[in-house]
Structure 1
């Protein structure tokens, strides 16, 4: 069996180039791209997705498998997939930031645990919010929306087409919404805990002999937990708002409408 350079180049363009974009997204996106999923499983999943969507993709450029153009196209596909995955990471980290802020305000910042998804220590409240948003993301088929955006991106951002335009630099300026989103999630808790701390300050001035540390710390902790418990009643509405913004940002990055 003899294979020509044109045939090898056609196979590289039709399968391997889209595979790099798919694999880059799966390596960087939340849930699938974490340490909980082995790299080999992610590669097998990328191969399976590539085989399924390959018949629906537009014609791919035919390039030499070992040329400079092929390496540049591979780098471009990896960058596009990583950008899409990074946008989703920002959405998840908004809840991590929210949990870290409220844990610090209520005096629970020292209670940390290892996050198995990232391999770092985070506050317990932040880890709770991470698990909660992961379950909500899967329950509302957010991963299917991501795969839909990925498939359609091969039409709006074809392999070999230019994508580093002013449009992307404008989108990069919008990525700072993650900190604002994290603050918005815990703003009621921060306000309530601030009132509690001000009350303890007044008590200290009124009764200096009162040991404020032995009374204030456990009371602040209990009040903070109660506030978090009450705030969970509205977490679904906040999640839907932030998820819609994050997925719309994902579609804007893929130039979808």
Structure 2
């Protein structure tokens, strides 16, 4: 099977576009334990996800990839990834604030348990709502939206 330079260029550009979206999303998305892990592990996770997504990424434009078009596509994908990651982080933080507001008058502020994302003791209701928000994120199919 002959190697076509245009096919490799299209695949590499798809990888760069996927990496720019997935890398920024991995930076912002609130996965328990991911923030406390080493930066190299997050980088490897982003590269592996981008390698998996690159073959199914949308095809190159009709005129091919020019350097300017590639830069615009990478910036657009990075902005979309940042938006999705920040939206998920904002949604999770709103659940945590709601848990604090509900837990204080309910008397749950004194009961605490170990929180795996912050590695500290946290109120029980806050941990419960954090886990519930994470499960709702996957149950709603939001991990398939990118």
**TMscore range, shorter length:** 0.5 to 0.7
Q: 1:182-213: CA deviations, max 9, x gaps?
A: xxxxxxxxxxxxxxxxxxxxxxxxxxxxxxxx
- Superposition pairs of residues 1-257 of structure 1, within 5 angstroms: 10=10, 12-31=12-31, 34-61=34-61, 62-64=65-67, 70-106=70-106, 109=109, 117=117, 124-133=123-132, 137=135, 142=138, 145-150=141-146
What is the CA distance between 1:143 and its match in structure 2? 7.8
Kindly tell me the number of residue pairs found equivalent between the two proteins. Answer: 139
- Aligned Cα RMSD in Å? 3.8
In 1, distance between residues paired with 2:33 and 2:80? Answer: 15
Q: 1:100-135: CA deviations, max 9, x gaps?
A: 11233245657778865358x88513532245326x
Question: Unaligned regions of 5+ residues in structure 2, if any?
Answer: 1-5
| Structure-2-length-normalised TM-score | 0.66
Would the alpha carbon gap of residues 74 and 57 (structure 1) be closer, same or farther in structure 2, given more than 3 Å must change? Answer: closer
What is the CA distance between 1:53 and its match in structure 2? 2.5
Question: Unaligned regions of 5+ residues in structure 1, if any?
Answer: 1-5, 151-257
SS at structure 1 position matched to 2:145: helix
In 2, distance between residues paired with 1:86 and 1:148? Answer: 16
Would the alpha carbon gap of residues 110 and 141 (structure 1) be closer, same or farther in structure 2, given more than 3 Å must change? Answer: closer
Q: Is this contact kept in 2: 1:15–1:54, CA < 8 A?
A: yes
Would the alpha carbon gap of residues 51 and 8 (structure 1) be closer, same or farther in structure 2, given more than 3 Å must change? Answer: closer
Would the alpha carbon gap of residues 117 and 32 (structure 1) be closer, same or farther in structure 2, given more than 3 Å must change? Answer: closer
SS at structure 2 position matched to 1:58: coil
SS at structure 2 position matched to 1:59: coil
